[in-house]
DNA sequence: AGAAAGAATGTACACGTTCACATTCACTAT
DNA sequence: ATAGTGAATGTGAACGTGTACATTCTTTCT
């Protein structure tokens, strides 16, 4: 079933059918109706490959997901949200989103990029690229619209979009400060990752801005790991350091902290207020429900879709843009003013 | 840059270049080398759309995700695993996976199917289709290879693959029986969903097989909801019913049960053993770490990829198959023999 | 009524591959 | 030497669509 078959059935030329399919203005209403009817009856839909061949456009955006995403440092429930936003907007604009995965992660990843390039996509969104500068360099040489999600290279001309981790940590800390806390302990994530460094920065910023010099004695490192945070909390308390609140760089560590405090017979929030980060699924389910920072997920996906579309459809080389999205504080029951 | 440009540079015809690209045996080694070299130098990769137009194959599999997946009854961390398995296998076979989302869920979903059909895919995998029989009927009329993941219609000729919920619940219950429990309470999920019914069936099966007649007094319904399970547990205990163990149809309800038992000063596992279902991210993080049932996620994706590929590449109409994958018991610290 | 203008439709080619078929080449057997 | 053979390469059509240009039809204006 092709455009020509439809043409024959409707007693018009295939060009007219093409015009009907593309909403060309110069088609008599009567003809349009007749052609449309036959198209519907036959259940015809034009071959995309032929269109693509002719136009050079594939209406297909690649999403390269780097392996780390399936590791714990990356909240697994981040993915559905961003996919939702991406596909929703892309489909709306007539595009598809095609998935590519890199399991090899650091050092590797080259094969995944090659696979991408062989697929004749219109643009590429890259999710989860972090420390692999060799891969980043390779990527920067692709002459295809590229958008980085959740990471950013200042020295490479690649547009990016990410949630503002610094602002998120700032807001979390500010919340604790606002309700009266001054001795706020901080559980750092993994400083090798951007988010780990950024969240610490936000914490420090809020503290200093309020005139509270952060006390190194109540700064811990939990490496984004529950067990690690658990142990760190035990030693923090046993060291005798005083603090009335704690800010954890992610919810998983917050859970570790919660477990440790329970073991030490300290109540949350009465004895210690606790704020997490990420709004992981379980944050609202545990006791007490965790106050935390939520990154916009669906919204991030939608914005990313908009950016890559404007790059793909823009006539000329678009300028490099770096977009930061605001995060929001989700107030639950793990925080209260200090005694 | 096309196959012809390469041909000119290599002083051969475009057909020879095509032969080199497709590893045709009838090319002199010397010529192959020369052509390959130029292809590499130029960074040429053949236009997929032209290939597709010619061959009728797109090397593209659609994944239709129905909205429910982003709702709580579906563990969000299921998605990354299955995507991983799917893309890994499909990419290996030279295929892409393209995402389509249906936000409208029940009743709607038709637009998503239409979008799919307009994309000229080679096959479609559908994830999360449940009660929407109208949509199911529509789908069954697509004459394209189709595979259902996580659901199955017995009266429609559509192949399916899913993890064996009945077996999972059976194993969970059997575990409790094996370590000596007899009074095992059951927290049902949502009976409107297949998994809800299947997990109950597995529980009943294991009980009866062991010669223990299930006591209606210790059967609750938690609708896959934490708060609901919390309340149900409170009333169960307050009703005075005796039980030494509890099996919850998912981890989220297990968490609700845990919270309720803690409030009632009942210890897990000393006073009540608890088994969940799904191996959600937090299962290993909470105190005590939850014994639960894990569905194969990546493996499910890989199997699904294999199935759709054999349907797509098989010469003739393949027969309808229904595949069930075994689940496995993850033993942690929320279970112990009764006193 | 006839010409001019513009709307509607048709014709034919291009897009970049693959593939059937035709041709040439290198080598062997007579 | 020469026909015969199979390997290596070339030629040209086909895949299904969009579109520039050509043609026809319709309307309007004088």
Q: Which residues contact B304 (CB under 8 A, 6 or more apart)?
A: B82, B85, B86, B125, B147, B149, B161
The residue of chain B with its CA nearest to that of A100 is B87
Please enumerate in sequence order all residues whose Cβ is within 8 A of that of A125, keeping only pairs 6 or more positions apart, or say none. Answer: A61, A62, A63, A64, A86, A146, A147, A148, A149, A304, A308
Mean pLDDT of A146-173: 94
B4 within 8 A of B46, measured Cβ to Cβ: no
**Cβ(A225)–Cβ(A193) below 8 Å:** no
Residue A274 β-bridge partners: A246
End-to-end CA, chain B: 77
CA distance A180 to chain B (A): 29
Three-state DSSP at A72 gives coil
Angle between helices B29-42 and B3-10 (to 10 degrees): 120
Which of A82-96, A168-182, B60-74 holds the top average pLDDT?
A: A168-182
What local confidence, expressed as pLDDT, does residue B67 receive? 65
Least confident of A137-146, A269-278, B239-248, B319-328: A137-146
The set of residues, in sequence order, having a beta carbon less than 8 Å from that of A177 and lying 6+ positions away, is A184, A206, A207, A210, A212
Q: Which residues of B touch A88 (CB under 8 A)?
A: 101, 103
DSSP class per residue in A197-236: HHHHHHHHHHHHHTT-PPPGGGEEE-TT-HHHHHHHHHHH
CA distances for A68 relative to A17, A79, A105, A216, angstroms: 48, 12, 7, 30
CB contact under 8 A, B101 and A87: yes
- Site from B50, B57, B78, B101 to mutate, A interface, most A CB atoms within 10 angstroms: B101
- Strand bridging mode B292-294 / B328-330: antiparallel
Helix H or strand E encompassing A123: strand A123-127
Q: With cut-offs at 50, 70 and 90, classify the pLDDT of residue A121.
A: very high
pLDDT digits (tens, 9 = 90+) for A22-55: 999 999 999 999 999 999 999 999 999 999 999 9
A23 Cβ contact partners less than 8 Å away, ≥ 6 residues apart: none
Q: Which residues of B touch A120 (CB under 8 A)?
A: 45, 47-49
Rounded mean pLDDT, A239-252: 97
* CB B134 under 7 Å to nucleic chain C: no
**Contact residues on chain B for A115, CB-CB shorter than 8 A:** 91
In angstroms, how far is CA A97 from the centroid of its own chain? 15
Predicted model pTM: 0.93
Q: Decide if B115 and A88 are in contact by the 8 Å CB cutoff.
A: no
pLDDT confidence of B75, banded at 50, 70, 90? low
Quote the CA–CA distance of B11 and B25 in Å, as a whole number: 19
Neighbouring C-beta atoms of residue B305, cutoff 10 Å: 25
Question: Is B301 within 8 Å of B81 (Cβ atoms)?
Answer: yes
Q: Any residues with CB less than 8 A from the CB of A301 and at least 6 apart, and which? A: A81, A82, A83, A84, A85, A86, A87, A88, A89
B304 vs B311: CA distance, rounded Å: 11
Region of residue A64 (phi > 0: left; psi between -120 and 50: alpha; otherwise: beta): beta
List the single range of A2-11, A144-153, A234-243, B197-206 with lowest mean pLDDT: A144-153
% chain B with pLDDT above 70: 94
Residues A319/A311, Cβ–Cβ less than 8 Å: no
Task: Check CB contact of A255 with chain B, cutoff 8 Å.
Answer: yes
Q: Spell out the residues 6+ positions from residue B21 whose beta carbon is closer than 8 angstroms to its own.
A: B3, B39, B46
Are A156 and A135 contacting, i.e. CB atoms less than 8 angstroms apart? no
Q: How far apart are the first and last CA of chain A?
A: 76
Write out the DSSP string of B271-284: T-EEE-SS--GGGG
Q: How far is the CA of A28 from the C1' of C6 (A)?
A: 13
Q: Where are the alpha helices (DSSP H) in A107-178?
A: 110-117, 133-140, 165-178
Of residues A203, A205, A179, A180, the one with CA closest to residue A293: A203
- Range of lowest pLDDT (A131-140, B12-21, B139-148): A131-140
- pLDDT exceeds cutoff 70 at A68: no
Note whether B283 contacts A: Cβ–Cβ < 8 A.
Answer: no
Confidence band (pLDDT; 50, 70, 90) for B80?
confident
Are A100 and A65 within 8 A, CB to CB? yes
Q: How far is B151 from chain A (nearest CA, A)?
A: 20
| Chain B, nearest residue to A70 by Cα | B80
State how far the alpha carbon of A18 is from the alpha carbons of A15, A68, B16, B49, in Å: 5, 46, 34, 19
Interface of A with B in 157-216 (CB under 8 A): none
- Chain A within 8 Å of B100 (Cβ-Cβ)? yes
* B84 Cβ under 8 Å from any chain A Cβ: yes
Distance CA A106, CA A67 (A): 9
In this complex, the answer to whether residue B5 has its CB under 7 A from any atom of chain C, a nucleic strand, is no
Over range B193-221, report the average pLDDT.
96
* B78 has a chain A CB within 8 A of its CB: no
Tell me how far CA of residue B76 lies from CA of A91, A253, B226, B278, B281, in angstroms: 22, 20, 15, 11, 9
Which residues have CB under 8 Å from B52's CB, separation 6+?
A48, A49, A52, B58, B59, B120
């Amino acid at each position: 079933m092709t455009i020509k078959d439809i043409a024959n059935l409707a007693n018009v030329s295939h060009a007219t059918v093409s015009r009907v399919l593309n909403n060309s203005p110069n088609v008599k209403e009567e003809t349009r109706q007749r052609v449309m009817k036959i198209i519907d009856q036959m259940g015809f839909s034009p071959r995309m490959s032929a269109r693509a061949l002719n136009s050079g456009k594939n209406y297909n955006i690649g999403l390269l997901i780097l392996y780390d995403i399936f590791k714990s440092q990356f909240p697994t429930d981040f993915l559905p949200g961003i996919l939702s936003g991406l596909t929703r907007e892309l489909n709306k604009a007539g595009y598809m989103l095609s998935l590519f995965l890199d399991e090899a992660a650091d050092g590797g990843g080259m094969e995944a990029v090659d696979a991408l390039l062989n697929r004749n996509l219109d643009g590429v969104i890259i999710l989860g690229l972090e420390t692999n500068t060799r891969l980043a360099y390779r990527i920067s040489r692709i002459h295809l619209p590229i958008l980085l999600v959740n990471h950013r290279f200042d020295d490479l001309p690649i547009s990016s979009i990410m949630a503002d981790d610094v602002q998120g940590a700032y807001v979390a800390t500010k919340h604790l400060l606002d309700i009266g806390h001054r001795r706020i302990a901080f559980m750092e994530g993994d400083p090798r990752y951007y988010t780990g460094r950024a969240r610490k920065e936000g914490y420090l910023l809020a503290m200093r801005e309020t005139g509270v010099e952060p006390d190194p004695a109540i700064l811990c490192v939990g490496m984004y790991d529950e067990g690690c945070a658990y142990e760190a909390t035990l030693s923090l308390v046993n060291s005798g350091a005083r603090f009335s609140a704690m800010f954890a760089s992610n919810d998983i560590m917050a859970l570790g902290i919660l477990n440790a405090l329970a073991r030490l017979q300290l109540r949350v929030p009465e004895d210690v207020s606790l704020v997490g980060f990420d709004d992981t699924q379980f944050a609202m389910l545990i006791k007490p429900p965790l106050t935390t920072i939520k990154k916009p997920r669906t919204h991030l996906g939608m914005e990313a879709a908009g950016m890559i579309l404007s790059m793909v459809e823009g006539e000329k080389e678009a300028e490099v843009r770096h977009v930061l999205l605001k995060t929001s504080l989700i107030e639950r029951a793990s925080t209260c003013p200090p005694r």
